[in-house]
Amino acid sequence: MSHSIFSKFTPKEPKFFPVLKEMSEVMVKAADLLIEFITHYDHATAADYYKKIKEQEKKGDALANRVFDELNKTFITPFDREDINQLSSRMDDVTDYINSCAKRMVLYNPSRMPESAVTLAHLIKDGAVCIGKAVDELDVMKKDPKHVIAYCQELHEIENKADDVYEHFIIDLFENEKNGVELIKLKGIVYELEKATDVAEYVGKIIKTIIVKYA
Amino acid sequence: MSHSIFSKFTPKEPKFFPVLKEMSEVMVKAADLLIEFITHYDHATAADYYKKIKEQEKKGDALANRVFDELNKTFITPFDREDINQLSSRMDDVTDYINSCAKRMVLYNPSRMPESAVTLAHLIKDGAVCIGKAVDELDVMKKDPKHVIAYCQELHEIENKADDVYEHFIIDLFENEKNGVELIKLKGIVYELEKATDVAEYVGKIIKTIIVKYA
Amino acid sequence: MSHSIFSKFTPKEPKFFPVLKEMSEVMVKAADLLIEFITHYDHATAADYYKKIKEQEKKGDALANRVFDELNKTFITPFDREDINQLSSRMDDVTDYINSCAKRMVLYNPSRMPESAVTLAHLIKDGAVCIGKAVDELDVMKKDPKHVIAYCQELHEIENKADDVYEHFIIDLFENEKNGVELIKLKGIVYELEKATDVAEYVGKIIKTIIVKYA
C-alpha cells in the first residue's frame, strides 16, 4: 500500500531470506558437531567440541542481530516485522540449546552418555535440515505454501518423536540411576536436547502463523 | 469507533467469551482429575489418570487455537486482540501445568505423594473455579467491574496460600528427604503444582489490565 | 509530531525517569543486603536478611506497577510505551532474582555458602550501580548517548565475568560435592545469582535498543 508512495525514499528491501538461510546452515553445522560430540563422548576431547559448537553459536547470534538491525532500519519488510524477528530469534534458540547442551557436557562431566542423547541429537539435525528447507520456500510461499506446510508438519512429528525418546529416557533414568549427582547431570544435559527440538517445532509454528496471514 | 463504519463489511463478532468459558471448564475438570490422582496416588492407576488429564489438556489446546484463529480472522474484537490472546494463552497454561504435573508423576514414579501436593491441587481447583466466574463476567465487565475485581483478588490470595504451602513443603523436603533421587522427583512434581497457581494468578492480572483499559 | 496538536489536552508528561531511578536504588540496596547475607551466611540470621531483602523486592514491585499504571494513563511518553515497560519490568527482575536467591537460602538451608556466591553478589551490585548511572543519562541520551553506550558495554562485561565465575562454580560443584541434596541446594541458589546478572545485561540491551531508535 505505502509501497507506491515511499518506495523511492526508502532503501532497497534488505535480503532477510539469505540471512535466515545462513542461520539454518549454522544450525545444521552445530547439530552435526553435537552428534559427533555425543556419539564419541570423551572427556579428553570435550572442550574442543564445545569450542567448535560455541563458534557456531556466536555466528548464529551475529546473524540474528543482523536481522534485528535490518528490521529497525527497513521500512518495507516481506512479512510483518515482528514475525521475521520471532522467526530469527527462535531459529537462534535452536543453536543456543545445542550450545547449552555442549556446555553442560563440559561443565558437568558425566561419566557416560546415554543412547537417547545420540537419538535426540539426530532428531535435532533432522529438524535443522527441515527448517532450512522451509526457509528456502519463504519467498515463494505466498504463491504456493504446500511445501512449507509439509515441513512444518515434519517439525511437529520430529518433536513428537523427541518427546517419546525423552520420556523413556526419564523413566529409565529415575528407575535405574541410583547416584543422585549423576542423575542431575544427565537429566540436565538431555533436557537441553529435548528443548532444542521443542523450539525447532516452535519455528514451524511461527512459519505457519505467517502462512495464515499471507498465503 | 470504527464500528459504525466497518460493521456491515466485517463478519459477525465471534463468540470469544463462550470459548474462554469452555476453557475454564476444561481447567476445572483437569483440576478435579488431578485431585483424585494425587489423593489416591498409586502406580497401578497412574497411567490411566494421566491419560484422562492429557485429554483435557488437548481440549484446552484446541480451544486456545480456536481463539487464536478467530482473532486472526476478526476485524472487531471486544477487547484488544493481544489481551484476548494473552488471556486464552495463560488460561491454557494452567491446564498445561496440571498436565505436566500428572506427566511427571507417571514418568518419575515417586514412592510417595506428600500431603502438600493434595493441598496444592485443591488450590488449583479453587483458582480454576474462580477464573470461570471471572470469565462469566467479562461481557458485563465494562458496566460493572466490581465482581471481576473481587475474583482477581481471590486469585491473588489463592496464589499466596499456595506459596506458603510450597515453601513449607520445600523446607521440610530439604530437611528430611535424605534420598537425593526421591528429592528431585518430589521437588519436580510439586513445582509444577505451584506454577499452576502462579499462572492462575497471572490470568487475574491480565483481566485486571483489561479492566484498567475498558472499565 | 502529535505533540503540537494534543499537548494542551493531555496531562503533563509523567516523571518516568525518577521512578526508574528509584527502582535502580532499590536494586542497589537489595544487592548490598545480599552481599552481607551471603558473606556472613548463618542460619540464625537468615530469616532476618530475607525479610529485609523481601521489603526491597516489594518496593521494586510497587515502583514497576507505578510505571505500568502511568503508561496506561499517559498519551505522550519520552520513548515507546513498550520500551519503557520492558525497561522497568527487567529492572524489577534483577531485584526479583536477588530476592529469590535470598528466599532459597532460607528455604534450602545449605550447610555452607561457596566463595563464588560472594563474588557473584558483588557483580550483581556492580550491575545495579551501572544501571543506575545509565538511567541517570536517559533524559539526555537523545543528545549524547556515548555514556549510556559505555554503561551498556559494562553490563555486558559484568555478565561475562559472572558467567565465568558460575562455570567454575559448577565444574567444582559437580566434581567435589558428593552429597546430592547439598549439590541441589547450592546449584539452585547460585543459579539465581547468575540469572540476576543475566537480566542486568538484558536491561542494557533494552537501553541499547532505545538508543538505536532515538539517538
CB distance C4 to C16 below 8 Å: no
Q: Does A171 sit within 8 Å of B109, measured CB to CB?
A: yes
Domain boundaries, chain C: 15-214
C209 pLDDT band, cuts 50/70/90, is confident
Mean pLDDT of B61-73: 89
Q: How far apart are CA A169 and CA A90, in angstroms?
A: 26
Q: Say if the Cβ atoms of A212 and B72 lie within 8 Å.
A: yes
B153 confidence band (pLDDT: 50, 70, 90) = very high
- Spatial neighbors of A96 by CB under 8 A, at least 6 apart, are A57, A60
Q: Which residues contact B161 (CB under 8 A, 6 or more apart)?
A: B123
pLDDT digits (tens, 9 = 90+) for A45-71: 999 999 999 999 999 999 999 998 888
Chains touching chain A at 3 or more Cβ pairs under 8 angstroms?
B, C
**DSSP 8-state code for residue A75:** S
Buried b (16+ CB within 10 A) or exposed e, C26-65: bbbbbbbbbbebbeebeeeebeebbebbbebbebbbebbe
How many beta carbons lie within 10 A of that of residue B206, not counting itself? 19
Instruction: Quickly state the pLDDT bin for B14 (edges 50, 70, 90).
Output: low
Q: What percent of chain B has pLDDT over 90?
A: 77
Three-state secondary structure readout of B161-213: HHHHHHHHHHHHHHHHCCCHHHHHHHHHHHHHHHHHHHHHHHHHHHHHHHHHH
Report d(CA B113, CA B186) in Å as an integer. 8
- Within 8 A by CB and 6+ apart from A49, the residues are A33, A36, A37, A102
Q: Chain B 180-209, CB below 8 Å of chain C: which residues?
A: 180-181, 183-184, 187, 209
Q: What's the rounded Cα separation, in Å, for the pair C128 and C122?
A: 10
Topology of domain B14-214, CATH = Methane Monooxygenase Hydroxylase; Chain G, domain 1 (1.20.58)
Cβ atoms of C152 and C207 closer than 8 Å: yes
* Average pLDDT for C45-57: 97
Which ipTM was obtained for this model?
A: 0.82
**A171 close to A183: Cβ distance less than 8 angstroms:** no
- Please indicate whether, in this complex, the C-beta atoms of B181 and A178 are within 8 angstroms of each other: yes
| CA-based nearest residue in chain A for residue C173 | A108
The residue with greater pLDDT, C14 or C61, is C61
Chain A touched by C168 (CB under 8 Å): no
CATH topology of domain C15-214: Methane Monooxygenase Hydroxylase; Chain G, domain 1 (1.20.58)
Q: Which residues of C touch B170 (CB under 8 A)?
A: 107-108
Set of cell numbers at residue C23 = 527502582
State the DSSP H helix or E strand holding residue A35, giving kind and residue range, or none if neither: helix A16-39
